[in-house]
Protein backbone atom coordinates (compact mmCIF):
# COMPACT_ATOMS: atom_id res chain seq x y z
CA UNK A 1 0.00 0.00 0.00
CA UNK A 2 1.17 3.54 -0.78
CA UNK A 3 0.18 6.06 1.87
CA UNK A 4 -0.91 9.60 0.98
CA UNK A 5 1.16 11.84 3.25
CA UNK A 6 -0.08 15.20 2.01
CA UNK A 7 -3.03 16.36 -0.04
CA UNK A 8 -3.70 19.94 -1.07
CA UNK A 9 -5.77 21.89 -3.55
CA UNK A 10 -3.54 23.92 -5.87
CA UNK A 11 -6.18 25.81 -7.86
CA UNK A 12 -9.94 25.73 -8.27
CA UNK A 13 -9.62 22.47 -10.25
CA UNK A 14 -6.16 20.98 -9.58
CA UNK A 15 -5.03 18.82 -6.64
CA UNK A 16 -1.64 17.62 -5.41
CA UNK A 17 -0.78 14.50 -3.42
CA UNK A 18 2.54 13.50 -1.87
CA UNK A 19 2.68 9.71 -1.75
CA UNK A 20 5.00 7.37 0.13
CA UNK A 21 6.76 5.25 -2.52
CA UNK A 22 10.46 4.89 -1.53
CA UNK A 23 11.68 2.62 -4.34
CA UNK A 24 9.95 4.68 -6.99
CA UNK A 25 11.33 7.90 -5.50
CA UNK A 26 14.88 6.50 -5.64
CA UNK A 27 14.65 5.76 -9.38
CA UNK A 28 12.37 8.54 -10.72
CA UNK A 29 13.69 11.01 -13.27
CA UNK A 30 12.14 14.14 -14.81
CA UNK A 31 9.81 13.31 -17.70
CA UNK A 32 8.75 9.91 -16.39
CA UNK A 33 5.31 8.91 -15.22
CA UNK A 34 3.65 6.47 -12.83
CA UNK A 35 0.34 4.65 -12.67
CA UNK A 36 -1.90 4.79 -9.63
CA UNK A 37 -4.72 2.42 -8.74
CA UNK A 38 -7.01 3.07 -5.82
CA UNK A 39 -8.25 -0.49 -5.28
CA UNK A 40 -8.79 -3.76 -7.16
CA UNK A 41 -11.75 -2.46 -9.13
CA UNK A 42 -10.42 1.04 -9.84
CA UNK A 43 -9.20 2.33 -13.19
CA UNK A 44 -5.43 2.65 -13.63
CA UNK A 45 -4.47 6.29 -14.09
CA UNK A 46 -1.14 7.33 -15.67
CA UNK A 47 0.17 10.58 -14.15
CA UNK A 48 3.42 12.47 -14.65
CA UNK A 49 5.80 12.41 -11.68
CA UNK A 50 5.83 16.07 -10.67
CA UNK A 51 8.45 15.83 -7.96
CA UNK A 52 10.31 13.16 -6.04
CA UNK A 53 12.42 13.05 -2.91
CA UNK A 54 14.68 10.01 -2.66
CA UNK A 55 15.62 10.78 0.97
CA UNK A 56 12.04 11.10 2.19
CA UNK A 57 10.91 8.29 -0.12
CA UNK A 58 8.05 10.33 -1.61
CA UNK A 59 6.68 11.19 -5.04
CA UNK A 60 4.36 14.05 -5.89
CA UNK A 61 1.45 13.74 -8.28
CA UNK A 62 -0.83 16.47 -9.57
CA UNK A 63 -4.17 15.85 -11.19
CA UNK A 64 -7.33 17.50 -12.35
CA UNK A 65 -10.45 15.35 -11.79
CA UNK A 66 -12.30 15.02 -15.09
CA UNK A 67 -13.96 11.59 -15.28
CA UNK A 68 -15.71 9.48 -12.62
CA UNK A 69 -12.46 7.64 -11.80
CA UNK A 70 -10.40 10.72 -11.07
CA UNK A 71 -13.23 12.18 -8.96
CA UNK A 72 -13.18 8.93 -6.93
CA UNK A 73 -9.44 9.37 -6.39
CA UNK A 74 -10.20 12.74 -4.88
CA UNK A 75 -12.13 10.99 -2.08
CA UNK A 76 -8.79 9.73 -0.73
CA UNK A 77 -7.46 11.81 2.15
CA UNK A 78 -4.13 12.16 3.97
CA UNK A 79 -3.47 8.84 5.75
CA UNK A 80 -5.40 6.81 3.13
CA UNK A 81 -3.46 4.64 0.67
CA UNK A 82 -3.37 3.71 -3.00
CA UNK A 83 -3.38 -0.03 -3.56
CA UNK A 84 -0.79 0.26 -6.37
CA UNK A 85 1.69 2.86 -7.51
CA UNK A 86 3.69 1.54 -10.47
CA UNK A 87 6.73 3.26 -11.94
CA UNK A 88 8.82 5.04 -12.88
CA UNK A 89 7.58 4.41 -16.44
CA UNK A 90 8.45 5.95 -19.80
CA UNK A 91 11.71 7.48 -20.89
CA UNK A 92 13.27 10.34 -18.95
CA UNK A 93 13.32 13.78 -20.53
CA UNK A 94 15.75 14.43 -23.42
CA UNK A 95 17.63 17.04 -21.40
CA UNK A 96 18.98 14.27 -19.14
CA UNK A 97 20.92 12.91 -22.10
CA UNK A 98 22.81 16.16 -22.62
CA UNK A 99 26.34 16.48 -21.27
CA UNK A 100 27.04 19.24 -18.74
CA UNK A 101 28.87 21.18 -21.48
CA UNK A 102 25.88 20.91 -23.80
CA UNK A 103 23.48 21.97 -21.07
CA UNK A 104 25.59 25.01 -20.22
CA UNK A 105 25.82 26.06 -23.86
CA UNK A 106 22.03 25.96 -24.32
CA UNK A 107 19.36 28.45 -23.34
CA UNK A 108 16.12 26.74 -22.38
CA UNK A 109 12.51 27.81 -22.70
CA UNK A 110 9.72 25.85 -20.99
CA UNK A 111 6.10 26.44 -21.88
CA UNK A 112 3.64 25.19 -19.27
CA UNK A 113 -0.06 25.22 -20.10
CA UNK A 114 -2.60 24.74 -17.30
CA UNK A 115 -2.12 21.36 -15.57
CA UNK A 116 1.02 20.94 -17.69
CA UNK A 117 2.75 23.29 -15.24
CA UNK A 118 3.22 20.34 -12.86
CA UNK A 119 5.31 18.12 -15.19
CA UNK A 120 7.39 21.14 -16.29
CA UNK A 121 8.48 21.79 -12.69
CA UNK A 122 10.80 18.75 -12.14
CA UNK A 123 12.67 19.48 -15.38
CA UNK A 124 13.26 23.14 -14.48
CA UNK A 125 14.30 22.07 -10.97
CA UNK A 126 16.71 19.47 -12.38
CA UNK A 127 18.31 22.13 -14.61
CA UNK A 128 18.63 24.51 -11.65
CA UNK A 129 20.56 21.82 -9.74
CA UNK A 130 22.97 21.82 -12.71
CA UNK A 131 23.31 25.61 -12.35
CA UNK A 132 21.08 26.44 -15.32
CA UNK A 133 18.26 28.95 -15.02
CA UNK A 134 15.61 28.28 -17.66
CA UNK A 135 12.92 30.72 -18.76
CA UNK A 136 9.37 29.51 -18.12
CA UNK A 137 6.07 30.66 -19.56
CA UNK A 138 3.03 29.59 -17.52
CA UNK A 139 -0.34 29.97 -19.24
CA UNK A 140 -3.82 29.50 -17.84
CA UNK A 141 -7.31 30.48 -18.86
CA UNK A 142 -7.74 32.69 -15.79
CA UNK A 143 -5.95 33.71 -12.56
CA UNK A 144 -7.66 31.04 -10.38
CA UNK A 145 -6.09 28.30 -12.49
CA UNK A 146 -2.48 29.38 -11.97
CA UNK A 147 -0.49 27.21 -9.55
CA UNK A 148 3.18 26.53 -8.68
CA UNK A 149 4.07 30.18 -9.40
CA UNK A 150 6.27 30.55 -6.29
CA UNK A 151 7.79 27.08 -6.64
CA UNK A 152 8.65 27.78 -10.27
CA UNK A 153 10.21 31.18 -9.44
CA UNK A 154 12.52 29.41 -6.94
CA UNK A 155 14.04 27.20 -9.65
CA UNK A 156 13.61 29.11 -12.93
CA UNK A 157 15.40 32.12 -14.40
CA UNK A 158 12.53 34.31 -15.61
CA UNK A 159 8.90 33.27 -15.16
CA UNK A 160 6.35 34.84 -17.51
CA UNK A 161 2.72 34.38 -16.56
CA UNK A 162 -0.11 34.82 -19.00
CA UNK A 163 -3.87 34.39 -18.73
CA UNK A 164 -6.26 34.07 -21.67
CA UNK A 165 -8.65 36.60 -20.08
CA UNK A 166 -5.96 39.00 -18.79
CA UNK A 167 -7.02 38.51 -15.14
CA UNK A 168 -3.38 38.10 -14.05
CA UNK A 169 -0.15 39.42 -15.55
CA UNK A 170 0.08 39.23 -19.34
CA UNK A 171 -3.07 38.77 -21.47
CA UNK A 172 -3.11 36.13 -24.18
CA UNK A 173 -2.21 32.52 -24.86
CA UNK A 174 1.32 31.18 -24.32
CA UNK A 175 2.32 31.49 -27.98
CA UNK A 176 1.85 35.28 -27.86
CA UNK A 177 4.48 35.40 -25.09
CA UNK A 178 6.90 33.31 -27.16
CA UNK A 179 6.49 35.79 -30.05
CA UNK A 180 7.04 38.75 -27.73
CA UNK A 181 10.16 37.29 -26.11
CA UNK A 182 11.70 36.64 -29.50
CA UNK A 183 10.72 40.15 -30.67
CA UNK A 184 12.52 41.52 -27.57
CA UNK A 185 15.69 39.77 -28.72
CA UNK A 186 15.64 36.62 -26.58
CA UNK A 187 17.11 33.51 -28.16
CA UNK A 188 16.55 29.89 -27.19
CA UNK A 189 18.22 26.65 -28.26
CA UNK A 190 15.72 24.22 -26.79
CA UNK A 191 12.04 24.43 -25.92
CA UNK A 192 9.91 22.02 -23.88
CA UNK A 193 6.15 22.54 -24.18
CA UNK A 194 3.77 20.62 -21.91
CA UNK A 195 0.04 21.20 -21.69
CA UNK A 196 -3.14 20.49 -23.65
CA UNK A 197 -2.48 18.93 -27.02
CA UNK A 198 -3.78 21.91 -28.98
CA UNK A 199 -1.38 24.17 -27.04
CA UNK A 200 1.58 21.89 -27.77
CA UNK A 201 0.68 21.87 -31.47
CA UNK A 202 0.52 25.67 -31.66
CA UNK A 203 3.71 26.04 -29.61
CA UNK A 204 5.47 23.89 -32.19
CA UNK A 205 4.08 25.98 -35.06
CA UNK A 206 5.41 29.08 -33.28
CA UNK A 207 8.86 27.79 -32.28
CA UNK A 208 9.37 26.27 -35.72
CA UNK A 209 9.26 29.82 -37.17
CA UNK A 210 12.23 30.66 -34.94
CA UNK A 211 14.05 27.34 -35.50
CA UNK A 212 13.89 26.39 -31.80
CA UNK A 213 13.86 22.57 -31.47
CA UNK A 214 10.80 21.71 -29.37
CA UNK A 215 9.96 18.68 -27.29
CA UNK A 216 6.40 17.92 -26.18
CA UNK A 217 4.94 15.41 -23.73
CA UNK A 218 2.19 13.16 -25.06
CA UNK A 219 0.80 12.04 -21.68
CA UNK A 220 -2.70 13.30 -22.55
CA UNK A 221 -3.31 10.46 -25.01
CA UNK A 222 -2.37 7.65 -22.63
CA UNK A 223 -5.02 5.33 -21.21
CA UNK A 224 -3.49 2.22 -19.60
CA UNK A 225 0.13 3.42 -19.77
CA UNK A 226 1.57 -0.05 -20.40
CA UNK A 227 1.76 -0.47 -24.19
CA UNK A 228 -1.29 -2.75 -24.16
CA UNK A 229 -4.36 -0.68 -25.07
CA UNK A 230 -3.08 1.08 -28.19
CA UNK A 231 -4.71 4.39 -27.25
CA UNK A 232 -1.46 6.35 -27.24
CA UNK A 233 -0.46 5.39 -30.77
CA UNK A 234 0.89 8.33 -32.76
CA UNK A 235 2.98 8.98 -35.85
CA UNK A 236 6.35 10.65 -35.35
CA UNK A 237 8.48 11.36 -38.41
CA UNK A 238 6.32 8.94 -40.42
CA UNK A 239 6.83 6.08 -37.94
CA UNK A 240 4.36 4.55 -35.52
CA UNK A 241 5.15 5.21 -31.87
CA UNK A 242 3.41 4.67 -28.53
CA UNK A 243 3.55 7.53 -26.06
CA UNK A 244 3.73 5.28 -22.99
CA UNK A 245 6.63 3.06 -24.09
CA UNK A 246 8.50 5.19 -26.67
CA UNK A 247 7.83 8.53 -24.94
CA UNK A 248 6.14 10.35 -23.37
CA UNK A 249 8.38 13.07 -24.87
CA UNK A 250 8.79 13.45 -28.63
CA UNK A 251 10.16 15.92 -31.15
CA UNK A 252 7.13 18.17 -31.60
CA UNK A 253 8.08 19.11 -35.18
CA UNK A 254 7.80 15.48 -36.28
CA UNK A 255 4.41 14.65 -34.75
CA UNK A 256 1.39 14.19 -36.99
CA UNK A 257 -0.83 16.52 -34.93
CA UNK A 258 -3.96 16.15 -37.05
CA UNK A 259 -3.95 12.38 -36.47
CA UNK A 260 -3.24 12.76 -32.73
CA UNK A 261 -6.01 15.26 -32.19
CA UNK A 262 -8.50 13.14 -34.12
CA UNK A 263 -7.56 9.88 -32.35
CA UNK A 264 -7.59 11.46 -28.89
CA UNK A 265 -11.15 12.66 -29.42
CA UNK A 266 -12.33 9.33 -30.84
CA UNK A 267 -10.71 7.19 -28.17
CA UNK A 268 -12.83 8.87 -25.51
CA UNK A 269 -15.93 6.91 -26.56
CA UNK A 270 -16.59 3.18 -27.05
CA UNK A 271 -18.00 3.97 -30.51
CA UNK A 272 -14.86 5.90 -31.36
CA UNK A 273 -12.64 3.01 -30.26
CA UNK A 274 -14.68 0.64 -32.42
CA UNK A 275 -14.34 3.01 -35.39
CA UNK A 276 -10.58 3.21 -34.91
CA UNK A 277 -10.41 -0.60 -34.79
CA UNK A 278 -12.39 -0.68 -38.05
CA UNK A 279 -10.21 1.96 -39.73
CA UNK A 280 -6.82 0.86 -38.41
CA UNK A 281 -7.23 -2.87 -37.96
CA UNK A 282 -6.45 -4.96 -34.90
CA UNK A 283 -4.15 -2.48 -33.28
CA UNK A 284 -6.12 -2.06 -30.08
CA UNK A 285 -6.53 -5.59 -28.75
CA UNK A 286 -3.74 -5.35 -26.21
CA UNK A 287 -1.56 -8.06 -24.78
CA UNK A 288 1.56 -8.13 -26.93
CA UNK A 289 2.96 -4.71 -26.10
CA UNK A 290 3.46 -3.97 -29.78
CA UNK A 291 0.01 -2.60 -30.39
P1 LIG B 1 -6.16 24.98 -20.75
O2 LIG B 1 -7.08 24.44 -21.76
O3 LIG B 1 -6.69 25.87 -19.70
O4 LIG B 1 -4.94 25.67 -21.52
C5 LIG B 1 -3.80 26.12 -20.81
C6 LIG B 1 -3.13 27.17 -21.63
O7 LIG B 1 -2.67 26.62 -22.85
C8 LIG B 1 -4.01 28.32 -22.05
O9 LIG B 1 -4.20 29.25 -21.00
C10 LIG B 1 -3.24 28.90 -23.22
O11 LIG B 1 -2.22 29.76 -22.80
C12 LIG B 1 -2.62 27.65 -23.82
N13 LIG B 1 -3.37 27.27 -25.00
C14 LIG B 1 -4.53 26.56 -25.08
N15 LIG B 1 -4.92 26.45 -26.37
C16 LIG B 1 -3.99 27.12 -27.10
C17 LIG B 1 -3.85 27.38 -28.50
N18 LIG B 1 -4.72 26.94 -29.39
N19 LIG B 1 -2.76 28.10 -28.89
C20 LIG B 1 -1.87 28.56 -28.00
N21 LIG B 1 -1.96 28.34 -26.67
C22 LIG B 1 -3.01 27.65 -26.24
O23 LIG B 1 -5.37 23.83 -20.00
P24 LIG B 1 -5.90 22.80 -18.95
O25 LIG B 1 -7.38 22.80 -18.85
O26 LIG B 1 -5.13 22.91 -17.72
O27 LIG B 1 -5.43 21.51 -19.73
C28 LIG B 1 -5.84 20.30 -19.45
C29 LIG B 1 -5.21 19.40 -20.49
O30 LIG B 1 -3.79 19.35 -20.28
C31 LIG B 1 -5.75 18.03 -20.42
O32 LIG B 1 -6.16 17.67 -21.71
C33 LIG B 1 -4.54 17.21 -20.00
O34 LIG B 1 -4.56 15.97 -20.63
C35 LIG B 1 -3.39 18.05 -20.47
N36 LIG B 1 -2.16 17.74 -19.72
C37 LIG B 1 -1.09 17.45 -20.46
C38 LIG B 1 0.07 17.04 -19.84
C39 LIG B 1 1.22 16.64 -20.70
O40 LIG B 1 2.10 15.92 -20.23
N41 LIG B 1 1.26 17.08 -21.94
C42 LIG B 1 0.17 16.99 -18.47
C43 LIG B 1 -0.94 17.37 -17.72
C44 LIG B 1 -2.12 17.74 -18.37
FE1 LIG C 1 -2.15 2.13 -23.82
FE2 LIG C 1 0.10 3.40 -24.45
S3 LIG C 1 -1.45 4.04 -23.11
S4 LIG C 1 -0.66 1.55 -25.29
SS (H, E, C) 219-243: HHHCCCCCCCCCCCEEEECCEEEEH
Residue ranges of domains in the chain, CATH in brackets: 2-89 (2.40.30.10), 94-217 (3.40.50.80), 219-291 (no CATH)
The closest residue, in CA terms, to atom 1 on ligand 2 is 229
Ligand 1 within 6 A of CB of 116: yes
- Name the percent of the chain lying above pLDDT 90: 76
Name the more confident of 290 and 27. 27
At 49 the three-state DSSP class reads strand
Residues 38-45 have a mean pLDDT of 85
Residues 242-261 have a mean pLDDT of 95
pLDDT at 287: 42
What is the Å distance from ligand 2's center to 245 Cα? 8
Ligand 1 within 6 A of CB of 198: yes
Pocket test for ligand 1, best of 16, 138, 195, 247 (most atoms within 8 A of CB): 195
Confidence of residue 289 (pLDDT cuts 50, 70, 90): very low
What is the Å distance from ligand 1's center to 199 Cα? 6
Residues 264-276 have a mean pLDDT of 61
pLDDT at 291: 38
Residues 78-85 have a mean pLDDT of 95
Ligand 1 within 6 A of CB of 88: no
Per-residue pLDDT tens digits for 46-80: 888 999 999 999 999 998 887 777 788 888 999 99
pLDDT at 276: 57
Whether the Cβ atoms of residue 229 and residue 284 lie closer than 8 Å to each other: yes
Cβ-in-10-Å burial (0-12, 13-18, 19+) of 214 comes to: buried
pLDDT at 94: 92
Confidence of residue 119 (pLDDT cuts 50, 70, 90): very high
Ligand 2 within 6 A of CB of 89: no
Whether the Cβ atoms of residue 91 and residue 31 lie closer than 8 Å to each other: yes
Note if the bond before 248 is cis, omega within 30 degrees.
yes
Ligand 2 within 6 A of CB of 230: yes
pLDDT at 268 over 80: no
Instruction: Quote the DSSP letter at residue 93.
Output: P
pLDDT at 224: 84
Lowest pLDDT segment from 138-142, 205-209, 253-257, 273-277: 273-277
Whether the Cβ atoms of residue 114 and residue 203 lie closer than 8 Å to each other: no
Sequence-separated (6 or more) residues with CB below 8 Å from residue 154: none
Ligand 2 within 6 A of CB of 88: no
Residues 37-45 have a mean pLDDT of 86
For residue 137, which of 106, 165, 103, 114 has the smallest C-alpha distance? Answer: 114
Residue 140 CB neighbour total at 10 angstroms: 27
Ligand 2 within 6 A of CB of 229: yes
The closest residue, in CA terms, to atom 7 on ligand 1 is 113
Q: Which ligand is nearest to the CA of 203?
A: 1
The closest residue, in CA terms, to atom 34 on ligand 1 is 220
Ligand 1 within 6 A of CB of 121: no
Name the more confident of 225 and 190. 190
Name the more confident of 264 and 22. 22
Ligand 2 within 6 A of CB of 234: no
pLDDT at 286 over 80: no
- Name the percent of the chain lying above pLDDT 70: 91
Per-residue pLDDT tens digits for 139-179: 999 999 999 999 999 999 999 999 999 999 999 999 999 99
Lowest pLDDT segment from 5-14, 203-212, 262-271: 262-271
Average pLDDT, the chain: 91
Name the more confident of 217 and 67. 217
pTM of the model as a whole: 0.91
pLDDT at 12 over 80: yes
pLDDT at 199: 97
Ligand 1 within 6 A of CB of 30: no
Amino acid sequence: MYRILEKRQLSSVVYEMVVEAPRLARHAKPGQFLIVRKDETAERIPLTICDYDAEKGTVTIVFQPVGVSTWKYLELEEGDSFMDVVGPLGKPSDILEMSDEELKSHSFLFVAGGVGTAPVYPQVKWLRKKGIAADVIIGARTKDLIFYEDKMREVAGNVYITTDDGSYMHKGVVTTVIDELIAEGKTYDHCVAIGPMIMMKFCCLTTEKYHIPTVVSMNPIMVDGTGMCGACRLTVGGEVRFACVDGPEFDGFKINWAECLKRSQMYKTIEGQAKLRYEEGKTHEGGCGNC
